[in-house]
Amino acid sequence: MIDLLSAATATAKQWLSSNIDEESKKQINALLESTDKKKLIDSFYRSLEFGTGGLRGIMGVGSNCINQYTIGFATQGLANYLLKSFPNQPIQVAIAHDSRNNSRYFAEVTANVFSANGITVHLFPELRPTPMLSYAIRYLKCQSGVVITASHNPKEYNGYKAYWTDGAQLVPPHDVNVMKEVSALTSFDQIKFTPDKSRIKSIGSEPEEAYYKEVLKLIPRQESIKKQSDISIVYSSLHGAGITMVPECLKRLGFKNINIVEEQRVPDGNFPTIPSPNPEEKAAMDLALKKAKAINADLVMATDPDTDRVGIGIKNDSGEFFLLNGNQALALMAWFILKNLKTTGNSYIVKTIVTTDLIDKMAEQIGIECINTLTGFKYIAELIRDNEGKKKFIVAGEESYGYMVGDFVRDKDAVSACAFFAAMAAAARDEGKTLYTWLSQVYAEYGLYKEGLVNVVKKGAEGEQQIKYMMDEFRNNPPHVIAGQKVIKIFDYLTSEEKNLLNGHIKPIQLPKSDVLQFITWEGSKISVRPSGTEPKIKFYISVSTRLTEPKNVELAMKHLDEKIKNIEKDIIR
């Protein structure tokens, strides 16, 4: 704690003596003078770094916060790297932002710094979803792009996602090299904040029009949409950017009965109707579910502030709404798409290592390759880039409510995902079925898989140390029995080793190093542990499965698996 305080104090004094605005100096002095040093430490004990979701933190003054200076450092570093990477070439970047507080301001700061470095900037005139930014980079032939967002984090957060020429988030070596460029900056005076306004251009409607056409090309069973165009859909943008594109995309597909949750229609960075704008949390979906029940809707969808994740609600056989988790939604989507493929030859799908193994099972039986990557869509996009011209990419997803169909966008895309789920609901009804019927059918065909997720929040500098200690404990003293199940394999993605505890054999893991541990039990349960790359928490993913003889037995089998998950939770979370 003393070392952290010393480091934070030194950095804070550095900021005070630099060329920053008076209001920021006033806030820093208040932190230094306060008897409670926790906020000082949390604000200054380190500099923000790129994680799985880029630069992300609480808004406020300090090197560990999101503000105009940390945004400026990141942009100047990225600009320097772009100028080195594309010498003697005209360089272009695209910039978008979501509805969070200060997002527009930070987007303009970013545009100003790029333009001051002689880089042409294409700036969206108002908020737009993250997938639209990914698409615009390629459409406008940009070398890079940035979206200002903290995705689904609470309202205190904002962030900075950086993208490369292919519309994908930065991966090694680019992310590491950008951070080196940022670290090389020793003074705020090295950041070129004074803009060249002639280089900042407003993005017109052409990229968005082209995006809608790409989505429409991919949607199967469009004849079912024509027959079932009156299907009742409830949609909420959760005060985010989704309102600008999701309803329009659904209308262009032919859906006529789209019901917006009015209380959450207006973009608002305070997210006044919800505790957190995360569709993974039921509280964020409550108003949408309430509206769906009131009008007897068929489908509920809600997207997070930057519209790269979507939560889905459907009815069970009793007509009661329940929320699909990310694994269930991905399984349904993948099944629908793969069943409607004209050919599976030389094609592949992608999921992350903590996403349900049901997808692997499905792909195996259908006869299509399923590739697993580390958590983060940047790794999925990297895989697509490496396979361009060799194999055909079909669909990708992860348990945290992110999905992507086709490769025209290179990040998770809730706009097109909403279009696909609506199309699926229409196709199911056209067959006289429901999405719940289909899900039960998937389980009967490939096995019933159930997943649980526990997030243990550890905030600030002290929390970061606690998370590190927890990971060290799991790594150095791994469990050999979990909830009565013998552990037979351990996957350590940091040491790149797969260890078979039955025979002692060790195999290399052919993925980049990452601080993730997985424990596989004799019964086939999988427990994954990893620190979040975007939030102050350690995450526990639990996956269990069983065979399902008949679809009608789903509810009973689910209860059995729920008990299994609870027992594992009690045993594994220390």
**Cα 143 to Cα 87, 140, 175, 378, distances in angstroms:** 12, 9, 14, 16
Cβ neighbours of residue 8 closer than 8 Å, sequence gap 6 or more: 37, 40, 41, 43, 44, 45
Let me know if 151 is a catalytic residue. Answer: yes
Q: Can you read off the two tokens belonging to residue 151?
A: 């995705």
Question: Could you tell me the strand order of the sheet in which 402-405 lies?
Answer: 369-373, 347-352, 392-398, 402-405
Q: How many CB atoms lie under 10 A from the CB of residue 90?
A: 9
Q: Say which amino acid occupies 385.
A: R
Q: Say which amino acid occupies 240.
A: G
Instruction: List phi, psi (to 5°) of 419.
Output: -65, -40
Pairing of strands 485-492, 497-500: antiparallel
Q: Specify burial of residue 195 (Cβ count, 10 A radius: 0-12, 13-18, 19+).
A: middle
What is the rounded distance in angstroms from the CA atom of residue 186 to the CA atom of residue 474? 38
DSSP one-letter code for 325 = P
Hunting for tokens 């108003």 — which residue is that? 287
Residue-wise DSSP of 197-250: GGGEEE--SHHHHHHHHHHHHH---HHHHHHTTT--EEEE-TTSGGGGTHHHHH
CB 322, CB 316: distance < 8 Å: yes
CB 274, CB 283: distance < 8 Å: yes
Pairing of strands 347-352, 369-373: parallel
Pairing of strands 92-97, 144-148: parallel
Q: Which of 151, 514, 532, 545 is catalytic?
A: 151
Helices 68-85 and 103-116: crossing angle in degrees, nearest 10, is 40
CA neighbor of 29 nearest in space, from 46, 17, 38: 17
Catalytic residues: 151
